[in-house]
Amino acid sequence: MRSVITLMLTVTLLVLITTPCLVKANDELLQLQKDPNQWVMWGGDYSGQRYSKLKQINKRNVKNLQVKWTFSTGVLRGHEGGPLILGDTLYIHTAFPNKVFAISLKDQTIKWSYQPKQDADVVIPVMCCDTVNRGLAYGDGKIFLQQANTKLVALDAKTGKVVWSVINGDPKKGETNTNAPLVVKDKVITGISGGEFGVRGHLTAYNIKTGKEIWKAYSVGPDNEMLVDPKTTTHMLKPIGKNSSLKTWQGDQWKLGGGTTWGWYSYDPDTNLIYYGTGNPSTWNPSQRPGDNRWSMAIFARDADTGIAKWVYQMTPHDEWDYDGVNEMILVDQKIKGKMRKTLVHFDRNGFGYTLDRVSGELLVAEKFDPKVNWATHIDMKTGRPQLVSKYSTDRNGADVDTKGICPAALGSKDQQPATYSPRTGLFYVPTNHVCMNYEPFEVAYTAGQPYVGATLSMFPAPDSHGGLGNFIAWDATTGTIKWSIAEPFSVWSGALATAGDVVFYGTLEGYLKAIDAKTGKELYRFKTPSGIIGNVNTYVYQGKQYIAVLSGIGGWAGIGMAAGLEGDTDGLGAVGAYRKLSDYTQLGGVLTVFALPD
């Protein structure tokens, strides 16, 4: 306990020293996020709602959308994330080698570009599920890029000149980066990838001015390294107690424990808490790591200044299926059972939609957002634990079992593709996967920089359903119910966007940008972009005109077969066989497509 208190005091002193910079940097983004004409962070604002107050494009005229301009990135692998729009400039990124372009909105000329020098022979082999990057961050006049080789780079937003850079990990150990950073106060927040290589996950805060590390919080391990306080950090409203993580791992397995942090980060200025999820425990073979494996597969709420966790909630103890918990945390104030709550809504890979009180961590709602989910019957609301179905366990009394028909598959009922929320309807709009799997674990030994998976998978559409691999759903997070669902032939792997025009936009793996009525789900518009869409749909205004922008470029886990040239049904951690027909609909290539109404 003494080490935790010492750490908290040390970090608090550092915060006091840096306060003048902190206030200035934070005020800028707090103001910018209020301007719907711009798009200044991955989720539009700190809440991650991906909602725009713009309504020039609405459900009556969206059918008239036209392509206004396009931009090829020159990179072929999967393009996740989306552009930032600040003033008269659009900033866009690519998959490896992580190029950055600043594009003039006036005439679509390139103001500047940045191309990192990265060793492809070292980095690409340790990138699990394609060479994607989820986007950029802005703050203090800088554009922040988290490169695949773990280098975090601060670029001057006007010139593209490197202001500073810092190394966040070591690819030779399997550590890489694919996440979009988040600027909070005087800090740049970033995570780490590599759960399939025995990487121990962490979230790290760097000084926005210098790149100096301010705090680092590991997902698993000793209390002082996780920045948790056994007496004040809670799980299900109770103190987690001393060595809460160490007690749930066998021996030193926690040192290879996974819990990587490659998803999205949200922030609430009122609570001063950063919210994010942790990934799968390592290895994928559960019999090699008995115990709950805390705090992999968990939601953390951390103080932005100190990194100390206020609360944590584990969705999938002793994960047996690779149900990473890194999906976005959407912050919404809503009424639940007659009481207004400051909530956090999370659509987990495990197929359950969770609503928690984001101040206390209290679990309020937990229901399946795909009816085909079968590995658990329900979530016990008193303990927070899923109630397992033994038939679909891959670890039975410590023995490896070739388990058939598990729903969802390892890529989850939803992967990283972020959902959106409309305050006009009170509904969440969720891009989902409708995929099941067979899962066979096997014994695996750890070697630094080599795959540490220990499982063979095959994937297929959920049985007794519409035969497709995806749905796009409307979800009521106050009750945990699906209001309507749109069947799709492939997983919906794009980030969605809701607008005040009562239109919701999303992209498909075949390459269609679709617009639907926010209330009914009726399709209002579609356009086939040059490649499959795994990027996020954004919107902005320039010179009084509203635009819709989406980044195409097939790849990611669903498109890994095409992106990496894989052919075996179980290749790509099981995805290649399920998505083999994608090549009949689209081809590789990163392209930004920008739409608007006719002049």
Q: How far is residue 366's CA from residue 314's CA, in Å, rounded to a whole number?
A: 13
Query: Nearest Cα to 100, choosing from 176, 170, 29, 160?
Result: 160
- Please write the tens of the pLDDT for every residue from 485-532: 999 999 999 999 999 999 999 999 999 999 999 999 999 999 999 999
Sign of CA dihedral 7, 10, 15, 18: negative
Percent pLDDT > 90 in the chain is 94
pLDDT of residue 25: 53
Q: How far is residue 511's CA from residue 229's CA, in Å, rounded to a whole number?
A: 47
- Please write the tens of the pLDDT for every residue from 117-138: 999 999 999 999 999 999 999 9
pLDDT level of residue 396 (50, 70, 90 thresholds): confident
Q: Which residue of the set 292, 322, 476, 502 is catalytic?
A: 322
pLDDT of residue 424: 98
- Given a cut of 60, whether residue 55 has pLDDT beyond it is yes
Residue 340: Cβ within 10 Å count: 9
322 in catalytic set: yes
Which residues does residue 189 pair with via DSSP β-bridges, in sequence order? 182, 205
| pLDDT, mean over the chain | 95
- Please write the tens of the pLDDT for every residue from 541-599: 999 999 999 999 999 999 999 999 999 999 999 999 999 999 999 999 999 999 999 99
- Please write the tens of the pLDDT for every residue from 358-379: 999 999 999 999 999 999 999 9
Percent pLDDT > 70 in the chain is 96
pLDDT of residue 24: 55
**pLDDT mean over 434-448:** 97
- Given a cut of 90, whether residue 97 has pLDDT beyond it is yes
Q: In the sheet that 352-357 helps form, which strands lie side by side, from edge to edge?
A: 330-336, 339-347, 352-357, 363-368
pLDDT of residue 20: 41
398 vs 305, which has greater pLDDT?
A: 305
- Please write the tens of the pLDDT for every residue from 318-348: 999 999 999 999 999 999 999 999 999 999 9
**pLDDT mean over 416-431:** 98
Q: How far is residue 72's CA from residue 75's CA, in Å, rounded to a whole number?
A: 8
pLDDT of residue 2: 41
Quote the longest CA-to-CA distance of the chain.
67
Map out the domains of the chain with their CATH numbers. 2-596 (2.140.10.10)
Query: Nearest Cα to 313, choosing from 298, 329, 324?
Result: 298
Tell me if 285 sits within 8 A of 455, measured CB to CB: yes
519 vs 24, which has greater pLDDT?
A: 519
339-347 and 352-357: which strand pairing?
A: antiparallel
